Amino acid sequence: MDQAQRYKELAARTEGKTLDSSYHAAFYLLSCEQGIFDVAKKHVNAMGIGFDGLKRSLRGFDETSLQIVEIAHNLFKWTGKCKVTPFDISRMGYPYMEQVCNAIWIASGEVKVQIRDAENREPELFLDSKPYQRTQRLHSRMEQMYTEMLESSEDMGMGMGEQNGGIGIEMFGEPDEDMEMER
């Protein structure tokens, strides 16, 4: 069973419940490895994901698997501190570090999980980054508009202080002599 099949089975166990990005992120991580999935599927139902029971059931699993479940729990709950630090994530290696990073994108809503049929008619997990690409384009446009606004105000001979109601604060340029002497 591959990750797409495991992911589909976890989602199906919610009995048609509308799943938000937190569910998708958690299911993405809980389906990344067969061993985690085998235990996790017993703790997923229409009411949600029973992480407390899941964590108790994982006693004896390797450290990386436990960290994966801890991160899935944190992305699902949104509250509480995650025991797994960024340093820990950096030491997970491939494919786990990539899985965790993908799950963070999924939880943010910037990447969507899609299951589609591959050429062999088997389900294939696909991460759709169109929402993130829209955010990137919007950010670039906002930066461009801001730059154009600053250039326009400079062309009109107005410094930042004049734009801000004439309070006389210059935000850009060289420090004056008094400032230099105080340093």
Q: DSSP state, 145? A: H
CB atoms within 10 A of CB 152: 10
Q: At what angle do helices 96-108 and 21-30 cross, to 10 degrees?
A: 170
Sort strands 112-117 and 48-49 into parallel, antiparallel or unpaired: unpaired
Q: Write down the residue that tokens 């509480």 correspond to.
A: 80
Q: What are phi and psi of 28, to 5 degrees?
A: -60, -45
pLDDT tens-place values along the chain, 183 residues long: 899 999 999 999 999 889 999 999 999 999 999 999 999 999 999 999 999 999 999 999 999 999 999 999 999 998 778 999 999 999 998 999 999 999 999 999 989 999 888 788 888 888 988 888 888 889 888 998 988 888 887 777 665 544 555 444 444 555 555 444 444
C-alpha span between 116 and 121 (Å, rounded): 9
CA atoms within 13 A on the CB side of 137: 6
Peptide bond before residue 95 is cis, with ω within 30 degrees of 0: yes
CA distances from 106 to 28, 59, 72, 129 (A): 9, 27, 11, 9
